[in-house]
Structure 1
Amino acid sequence: MELNYNLSEIFTSEPFQRLDRAQLARFNPRKFWCVQKSIDTLGQLSTEAQGLKRILTTYEKVVNHAEDQIIYLMWQRHPSKTSSSIVIGMLKIGRKHLYLLDESQRKFEEEPLCILDFYVHSSVQRRGNGHKLFDYMLRQESTSATSIAIDRPSDALLQFLEKFYELKKPVWQSTNFVVFPEFFEGKKTS
């Protein structure tokens, strides 16, 4: 997605930028409109791609949410337009207090890192961008794919997790979160 703004003027790292609530608040939309536009547009496109009725991710929702959420934005400089950037995708995460059941219906009370929204722009899908973005997030958060919970994953996301992380047999929860059997390894029941 082309953005008529050179993100390298405000972001310190390319191609990934980790944005928590405090950083987003510093990027006030009146001055740094491009940050809000990137997040809001990708959030809208993610909603459409998943066939959802309401938008999960907006700049305002992340800044004003009671729980801390983090957005990982993947972007690059435009190859020929110095005043533009290309926004590739975003990944929204946060911790949630969850009551979980494993495959044997044993109860667990956990507060895992959760994937709340994940989208790579349709023009740059199937090029490894989603895998790069997901791997970057895992490294930054010092976690593994087996240790996370996913909120209402699409079939495409489940296939992605199986292909790149060998996560099979999703364990669906009544809350529509998904974890995998490996999530429960070494954990004590509540």
Structure 2
Amino acid sequence: MAYNQDNDYLMIVKVDNQCNIKLININQCNYVNSLADNLKSSSSSSSSPSPSSSSCSLTPSKQLDNKQSELINLIRSQLKLWINSLGVQSAEAQNLKEPITCHTRFIQGSFRSNSPLKHNDSIYFLVHHQSVNHQPSTTITNNDNSSDENNRIQLNAIGLIRVGFRNLFLQQSEQLVNVNRCFSILDFYITRQRQGLGKLLISCVLKDQTININKCAFDRPTSALLSFLGKHFNLGSPQKQHNRFVIYDGFFS
């Protein structure tokens, strides 16, 4: 389901509208463990450094901290491109006239700049982490000028979910109920279809939010998404609401 090579794998990146970044593990394919393994293997395969070189070299823990910092800076520099590009692709897949997810609206927390209602949404990206042999346009390179391919990293966002909390009026039996801070899935798109990546991304979001999927409200889901939820999460009989959200059995229990 996830890439399993040492330097070629998938990772989850969570970003809020304050541009705070959190890296989330996918099973054992997480960035920190992979870097630690790389540092361990490279140190065991290399010859013992001379006293002069060891005095100016970083310890593995410091190397790890530096690489994490560089990775986060690289992600931050790509956020606008990732959000706008995947937002447009999502809109096209849903036959929408304009994207419902774009960088400007995400940062400002509303669909319109003059809206008094602001939302603190988050976006989870599914990112392909890949080491490359040549110097790409967006890379991380260590300061030691090493030619090791492990020091050059390329990131490619291949999916996103935008989530947030909404105050919704939802139908419960014969009543219209006001649900405060309802966890809502607002946009969802994966560039690589039928590879298990969509299920992987949603599962990681649910785990990070510590919520069951039948407690989520889905904003204007397409028929393809409803079919996907039924196939991979056993969600049947969607309950369509007047506000175009959809909930499932167990939402109010």
Name the TM-score class by shorter chain. Answer: 0.7 to 0.9
5+ residue gaps, structure 1, are 1-7, 9-13, 186-190
Residue type at the aligned position of 2:155? S
Residue type at the aligned position of 2:237? K
| CA–CA distance in structure 2, aligned partners of residues 105 and 50 of structure 1 | 31
| Alignment partner of 2:196 out of 123, 128, 133 | 128
Cα RMSD over matched residues? Answer: 2.4
Residue type at the aligned position of 1:117? D
Cα deviation for residue 175 of structure 1 reads 0.5
3-state SS of paired residue (1:84): strand
Partner of 2:124: 72
3-state SS of paired residue (1:78): strand
| Alignment partner of 1:118 out of 180, 188, 192 | 188
Cα deviation for residue 138 of structure 1 reads 0.3
3-state SS of paired residue (2:218): strand
| CA–CA distance in structure 2, aligned partners of residues 79 and 50 of structure 1 | 33
Cα deviation for residue 53 of structure 1 reads 1.1
3-state SS of paired residue (1:86): strand
Q: 1:62 to 1:163 in 2, by over 3 A?
A: same
Q: Give the 5 Å matches for 1:32-181.
A: 32-65=76-109, 66-78=118-130, 80=132, 82-102=152-172, 104-110=173-179, 111-121=181-191, 124-181=192-249
Cα deviation for residue 92 of structure 1 reads 0.1
Question: TM-score, normalised on structure 2?
Answer: 0.62
Cα deviation for residue 85 of structure 1 reads 2.2
Question: TM-score, normalised on structure 1?
Answer: 0.81
3-state SS of paired residue (2:235): coil
Q: 1:112 to 1:83 in 2, by over 3 A?
A: same
Cα deviation for residue 20 of structure 1 reads 0.6
Residue type at the aligned position of 2:183? L
| CA–CA distance in structure 2, aligned partners of residues 61 and 92 of structure 1 | 12
Alignment size in residue pairs: 169
Structure having greater relative contact order (Cα 8 Å, sep ≥ 6) = 1
* Aligned-residue identity in percent: 29
Does the Cα contact within 8 Å between 2:169 and 2:176 map onto a contact in 1? yes
Structure 1 residue ranges (4+ consecutive) displaced by more than 2 angstroms after TM superposition: 78-86, 104-107
- Structure showing greater Rg: 2
Cα deviation for residue 83 of structure 1 reads 4.8
| CA–CA distance in structure 2, aligned partners of residues 55 and 94 of structure 1 | 17
Residue type at the aligned position of 1:77? H
Residue type at the aligned position of 2:157? V
5+ residue gaps, structure 2, are 1-6, 22-71, 110-117, 134-151
